Chains A and B, each alone.
Chain A
Amino acid sequence: MSRTFLRLTLAQRLQHLFMFVPFIILVVTGFPIKFYDSSFWTVLLNLIGGIENARFIHRIAATIMLIDFIFHVFYIFYNIIINKTPLSKMYLLPNMKDARDIVQNIKYFLFFTDERPKFHKFSYIEKFDYWAVFWGMFIMGGSGLILWFPIFFSQYIPGDFIQIAYIAHSDEALLAFLAIIIWHFYNVHFNPRVWPANKVWYKGTLTEEEMKHEHPLELKEILESEKNND
């Protein structure tokens, strides 16, 4: 049996789980309100049991997702402060190599070169996914809370912000949904290199073969550090 490499720890996999299950529930219970004329969403709304159930379930799912996000923020600070992880080991931070990788990849797509960029632990594609969710949590979570408790927030913000929250929640929801089903699903399901699915979200590990293809720089670093430790 070939060697496997840990990519996502159990804590990280659980954070992903508690992000995507509420996400699906939020889409299913929220879109019938966004698309109030659509017959497709009417059928779904009736399956849920009407608008009142949908609103209730939406808020439960939103709460779970926000707790997951807050846990994630604590998790990051725990890693920085208690585990003393150096910035160079925080692989999701964008850097100049990402910009070079984008240029290299586009060159490759357009036949200017035959060499694909070599990625470390996270490619710019995965970093985009991560930071899109990070930004989305503030927009969706913030506007969602304003819409949930409009009177409470109106003590501190102008009334127009309620309307802005309404627009932001509705429009950002569509962007998030499209980004997930098109971009994220392409990269982890529909991409011919990973089809039918990237199983790392529950397995947590990659094989040496997969590491060589998708994360050659990380593999090199791991193997080198092992050599130094020997």
Chain B
Amino acid sequence: MHAINFKKYIFQLSLFLFSIIFSFEKNIDNENCLLCHGLPMLSVQNEEGEFRSFEVQSDHYSNSIHRNISCRDCHESINTFPHEQNIEPVNCAKSCHITRPFEMKIFSHKNQEKQHKISDHGFNPKHTIKENAEKPSCKYCHSNKVFDDIEIFNENETSHCANCHTGESLNNVINHIDFHISHRSSENSTEIVELCSSCHDNNSKMIQFDISTSQVEGFNHHFHGKAMRRGLNEVANCADCHSSHLILSKTDPNSSIHEDNILQTCSSNSSCHQNPTLEFSKSAVHSQPTSDNNPLIFYIEWGFILLTAGVMALLFAHILMDVGRYLFDKFNGKNNE
């Protein structure tokens, strides 16, 4: 019988088991970037005195869509340790070495970037530099959820921030991080509407592009918006009709809401409405009717408001007069009943 070295056996077995256990902890950080970036609240102060967080929470990164991509696959310009302070921003359209399942080709976001470029959110030479900078880039909507929820910044966790940042400045740090984590995309309708509203409900931003903010309010008052507010998550959000990247005006023939494409958008794209008619698809879903853009609906709406107010005023007057006369007679001992 072959004699085994029992000590060696135990050592190898436990090494094997440990490696299995630790392999569940998906961590792509083979270059140990988290040595620094794992430090809670790691941040850098810029010339204006603002803080920017550079903390990467490994828990969140390991559960994000990019968990199998190591840091330097996207942060390409980093070649030294410690790295330069000013590094090039990430290029989302870069081809990376991750393929889609069973597809033997390199994956890239180039397609999405191309659509975004020609969409109304892309660079437009007619707009000024400032206006172009106001438009959402890839990272404005997609941010990989590496930041945690604001809820985690409770008193215990911010206690070490308070060592340096006191009063106003502590709030600024928290607000700054809050801003970074609040505009993130996901599949959740509520969050997508919130993301789009973060600009489209902001009049000072929209006025530069001569876009009305009434769509946001209109959406909230309409079928989809109300159902969404009441918890129907499968309801159409902004991106379901306007698409995610190729967002274009309805006058553009490539637009998902162009009258040639809108039927398709209402039905098969999102399998929302079966066999819609053209008239159905033309029905507004977030307009705020005015006397100019839709006088018929505007005046019908006002007609109902006046009807309700008028009828209720007359009924109220009748009731009050009735009670008044009754009480007067009662206290004066008259009986006309």
Binding site for B on A (CB under 8 A): 32-33, 36-37, 45, 50-52, 106, 108-111, 114-116, 150-151, 154-155, 157-160, 162-164, 166-168, 171-172, 174-175, 178-179, 182-183, 186, 191-193, 213
Contacts and interface: CB of A to CB of B under 8 A. Distances in A.
Contacts of B304: 167-168, 171-172, 175
B275 interface: yes
A111 B325 contact: yes
A151 B308 contact: no
Given A110-B321, A182-B315, A151 B305 contact: no
A160 B280 contact: no
Contact of A174 (B223, B287, B308): B308
A171 B326 CA distance: 33
A89 B220 CA distance: 51
Interface in B92-145: none
A106 B321 contact: yes
5 contacts: A36-B225, A109-B324, A151-B274, A179-B315, A183-B319
Contacts, number: 114
A159 B279 contact: yes
A151 B276 CA distance: 6
B7 to A, nearest CB: 62
B297 A164 contact: yes
Contact of B311 (A109, A154, A175, A213): A175
Interface in B166-182: none
Interface in B299-334: 300-301, 304-305, 307-308, 311-312, 315-316, 319, 321-328, 330, 334
Contact of B307 (A115, A175, A192): A175
Interface of B: 220, 222-223, 225-227, 229-232, 273-284, 287, 289, 294, 296-297, 300-301, 304-305, 307-308, 311-312, 315-316, 319, 321-328, 330, 334, 336-337
Closest 6 CB pairs of A and B: A171-B304, A109-B321, A154-B280, A159-B282, A159-B283, A51-B230
A51 B232 contact: yes
Given A36-B226, A36-B230, A193-B337, A159 B281 contact: yes
A32 B230 CA distance: 8
Contact of B283 (A109, A110, A155, A162): A162
A160 B273 contact: no
A109 B322 contact: yes
Given A45-B230, A182-B312, A193 B326 contact: yes
Contact of A192 (B230, B275, B300, B323): B323
Contact of A164 (B220, B276, B300, B312): B300
A86 B239 CA distance: 62
Contacts of B287: 163
Given A52-B232, A157-B279, A186-B319, A168 B300 contact: yes
A155 B282 CA distance: 12
Of the listed residues A36, A108, A116, the one surrounded by the most CB atoms of chain B closer than 10 A to its CB is A36
A115 B336 CA distance: 7
Contacts of A32: 230
Given A151-B273, A166-B222, 12 more contacts: A33-B227, A36-B226, A52-B232, A109-B322, A109-B325, A111-B328, A159-B278, A159-B282, A167-B301, A171-B301, A171-B305, A191-B322
Contacts of B231: 50-51
Contacts of B289: 163
A151 B280 contact: yes
A115 B337 CA distance: 9
Contact of A116 (B274, B281, B336): B336
B277 A163 contact: no
Contacts of B324: 109
Contacts of B220: 36
B283 A160 contact: yes
Contacts of B227: 33, 51
Contacts of A172: 304
Contacts of A109: 321-322, 324-325
Contact of B280 (A45, A150, A178, A192): A150
A171 B274 CA distance: 29
A161 B289 CA distance: 13
A110 B317 CA distance: 12
